[in-house]
Amino acid sequence: MSAADTQNNHDTTGEPTLVGQAGPPAEAMALWYRQPARDWIEALPIGNGRLGGMVFGRVCHERLQLNENTLWDGHRQDTTHPDALSYLPEVRRLLFTGHNAEAEEIARQHLMGNPAGVKSYQSLGDLWLDMAAAATVSDYRRELDLDGGVVRVSYTLDDAHFTREIFASAPDQAIVVRLACDRPGRIDVRLRLTRQQDARCRAGGRRLLLSGQIEDRPEGAAQSLGLTFAACLQAIPEGGTVTAEGEVLQVRGADALTLLLATATRYYGDDPEAHCRAHSDHLQRQPYDRLLSRHLEDHRRLFRRVTLDLGDSPNAALPTDARLAAVQQGGDDPGLVALYFQFGRYLLLSSSRPGGLPANLQGLWNEEMHAPWNSDYHTNINLQMNYWPAEVTHLSECHLPLLAYTAGLIPSGQRTARVHYGCRGFVVHHLSDVWGFTTPADGIWGIWPMGAAWLATHAWEHYAFTGDRAFLARHCYSLMKEAALFLLDFLVEDPQGRLVTCPSHSPENIFRLPDGSTSSFTYGATMDLEILTALFRHCIAAATLLKKDAAFRGQLEDALRRLAPLQISQKTGRLQEWIADYDEPEPGHRHMSHLFGLHPGSQITLRGTPELAQAARRSLEYRLAHGGGHTGWSRAWIVNFWARLEEGEQAYANLKALLQHSTALNLFDLHPPFQIDGNFGGTAGIAEMLLQSHAGEISLLPALPSAWPAGSFTGLRARGGYFVSARWKAGKLESAELQATQTQTCALRVPKGSTVEGVELAGTAVPFERDADPALVRFKTQAGKVYRAVNGPSGRPSANRPHGRTLSGG
């Protein structure tokens, strides 16, 4: 097997002509197609959080491209620049006096990490299933059943119907492939495991063993420091024979065939080969049906928590690529949006499971040895966006890998904080890897010391949604505090006496200085102030809840009082992105960092800070008027912004643009190239259109577009620990159910045109108060109880039931 073969992504030679038209799969929540993937970006993803595959579904030369999420090039090392701290005062002085170019010059030489970059997450390799050439097959279909987490391929060849099922099992930590046929003895297949580099494959008995070590040899090193890894494929035929021939396994005349793939790397310290062999021994004792049922149970436990119905579509019976094409030509397809939403949830639960690493820039799925941006962890938007849907779409435990990963960065981030800035706490710059990289990378824009702080806001969000105070005390608080300690020490007074971050950036944008030159290097960027405000407020709230650290709390409060404020441009009415009202050479820049306070932050809200919300809106409109949203993640962020501004039509138009311009046939988000953040940001945006809880209220259908006049959702989560379901018709709320997990007062907002006519607990009216704002009601909830809020007139409680007492009207 040559490297050229393994790389030949487009090779469809020997693939048969497809005839006939397979109907849609039984499962409605499925991506499905009438042809195999021509290219990697058309293949269908499976994953168990650690082990992933891209299934091409080819008839005669099936390819599964494989990933294991610990398989990264590089190694753990100290990347700090020992002299950095001695240059910091001069860099600050230069920035405060407007000598940005000179500051940049010094920073490039002395403030960057060494090395100033990370190495790539790599493909594990490929599993190939070669079958005899066929001239024609009929009724071909491949599908990704989201509800079961199974890829299926089926077709008819001559008189026989062939089926394949492929899934990545979390409970059994394996990729499982099942080939079956309705005629006995028809399964003949040659199996190969390959990798472009650093590996070899051996066949023996019924197994293939691929093993190797990434070549990572620093200058002068005698040995590679790269990870060792292994993959073991086991073939279990029913009937027929298996023979090992050199580097391949040949299966002949089987009625059915089960393939079990186990993988391991040395990342967690195991011997990968020994681990794979032992795990294969265990797997081969599990019957296929048992593996499948254990997988289905595990997958559905997470997947089925949320349902979403956005209404019918005339294209519901078409294959996914045809539906996407119709939207790309301007059509509306609410069902495709619901599918996209559930696909986002599927991707998260397939790429991020407790105990493992978080989803990277491509989630889990990467076919390259040198991936775009190394498929790393970018912390100036991308990694965080991956987790925007986690809590609201009820995949809270899938958020834990991010929190654990962030906690794992603390030792390295403390060293960088000390060596580069002389500060306590921990700092993370704009990207990281699995080796604890925390220093500035890539270029001058890498000097952005806010990554840890932003990541730490996720710890609080996890608490806000789950209400898990013990977890807050045990895991979240120290993380938040370490991130805040860094900023407390890092803040300095600017020439006007305001506390600011310095040096920093507004990721990754540039501005024009009064002398006409451009720069990106600055201090007190609006985003920094917003992230810091969010984190400090979270720390104050957590310390108050946990009754600890009064002095620390006082320092945070004091810093917030002295912090440079958010500013609205006198010239343009827009929210200023920087500390001064600079012009922007790239007004449609993909990053919209200064709007962090609007989303994902909550410093800017429509009713709490109307002037800032208006200024944020102007900034957003300006970005959009100049081509903003040209990358997938940028477009997805825009959906969330409009949702927070309660502009359903604008949110929807941008969601549609995400599908039209930034979505591949397999529904992967395209930067381009493939980058998974847009999938997650898009999924979060859809949720944000239907349910919000960032402003101290649960807001139902805050940004419902006219394209979804009727629909329902169940099982979404809101801050305060609520589980929320709702149903609407003709654009008006019919009813909502809130399951409380805490005893507290619930503030519930309904959309324009709807009013709460009653609140019930098990059919009995519950007293509620109507706010001066008629869209808002308040009532007491008790942990474990389910409350139903109904809108009139169709949802009005029947006359023989008492109405809720209202304080003003109702």
Interface with ligand FUC by CB under 6 A: which residues? 361, 373, 378, 382, 508, 590-591, 631, 633, 671, 675
Nearest distance in Å: CB 686, ligand FUC: 21
Strand partners, 273: none
Q: Can you read off the two tokens belonging to residue 743?
A: 């005893």
Secondary structure (3-state) at 14: coil
- CB-wise, 332 or 442, nearer to ligand FUC? 442
CA–CA gap between residue 433 and residue 121 (Å, rounded):
8
Secondary structure (3-state) at 108: helix
- CB-wise, 110 or 378, nearer to ligand FUC? 378
Nearest distance in Å: CB 371, ligand FUC: 10
Nearest distance in Å: CB 328, ligand FUC: 22
Helices (H) and strands (E) in the chain, counts: 20, 35
Nearest distance in Å: CB 313, ligand FUC: 31
Nearest distance in Å: CB 542, ligand FUC: 30
Closest chain position to ligand FUC (CB): 373
- CB-wise, 73 or 508, nearer to ligand FUC? 508
Contacts for 384 with CB less than 8 Å, ≥ 6 apart: 454, 455, 458, 600
* Neighbour-count burial for 128-152, b at 16+ CB within 10 Å, e otherwise: bbbbeebeebbebbbbbbbbbbbbb
Q: Are 499 and 564 in contact (CB under 8 A)?
A: yes
- CB-wise, 58 or 591, nearer to ligand FUC? 591
Q: What angle do CA 541, 544, 547 make, to 5 degrees?
A: 150
- CB-wise, 235 or 361, nearer to ligand FUC? 361
Q: Could you give the C-alpha distances from 12 to 133, 134, 221, in angstroms and in order?
A: 11, 12, 43
Q: Can you read off the two tokens belonging to residue 705?
A: 């577009």
- CB-wise, 303 or 668, nearer to ligand FUC? 668
Secondary structure (3-state) at 43: coil
Nearest distance in Å: CB 636, ligand FUC: 11
Pairing between strand 732-739 and 722-729? antiparallel
Nearest distance in Å: CB 428, ligand FUC: 15
**φ, ψ dihedrals at 631, nearest 5°:** -110, 160
Pairing between strand 744-749 and 698-700? parallel
- CB-wise, 122 or 675, nearer to ligand FUC? 675
Q: Can you read off the two tokens belonging to residue 608?
A: 């709490």
- CB-wise, 373 or 674, nearer to ligand FUC? 373
- CB-wise, 348 or 371, nearer to ligand FUC? 371
Rg (CA), the chain: 27
Q: Are 498 and 564 in contact (CB under 8 A)?
A: yes
| Half-sphere exposure at residue 100, Cβ-oriented, CA atoms within 13 angstroms | 18
**φ, ψ dihedrals at 39, nearest 5°:** -145, 165
CA–CA gap between residue 617 and residue 597 (Å, rounded):
12
Question: What count of residues does the chain have?
Answer: 810
Nearest distance in Å: CB 666, ligand FUC: 19
Nearest Cα neighbor of 258 from 333, 347, 189, 359 is: 189
Sheet holding 722-729, edge to edge: 307-309, 711-718, 722-729, 732-739, 786-791, 756-761, 764-765
Q: Can you read off the two tokens belonging to residue 518?
A: 């451009």
Longest dimension (CA), the chain: 86
- CB-wise, 227 or 361, nearer to ligand FUC? 361
Nearest distance in Å: CB 393, ligand FUC: 22
- CB-wise, 425 or 446, nearer to ligand FUC? 446
Amino acid found at 203? A
Nearest distance in Å: CB 431, ligand FUC: 8
- CB-wise, 240 or 440, nearer to ligand FUC? 440
Nearest distance in Å: CB 587, ligand FUC: 16
Q: Are 616 and 610 in contact (CB under 8 A)?
A: no
- CB-wise, 142 or 591, nearer to ligand FUC? 591
Q: Can you read off the two tokens belonging to residue 50?
A: 């650690």
Nearest distance in Å: CB 75, ligand FUC: 22
CA–CA gap between residue 689 and residue 735 (Å, rounded):
17
Q: Are 508 and 440 in contact (CB under 8 A)?
A: no
Nearest distance in Å: CB 92, ligand FUC: 25
Nearest distance in Å: CB 367, ligand FUC: 17
**φ, ψ dihedrals at 649, nearest 5°:** -65, -40
Nearest distance in Å: CB 445, ligand FUC: 8
- CB-wise, 361 or 775, nearer to ligand FUC? 361
- CB-wise, 177 or 361, nearer to ligand FUC? 361
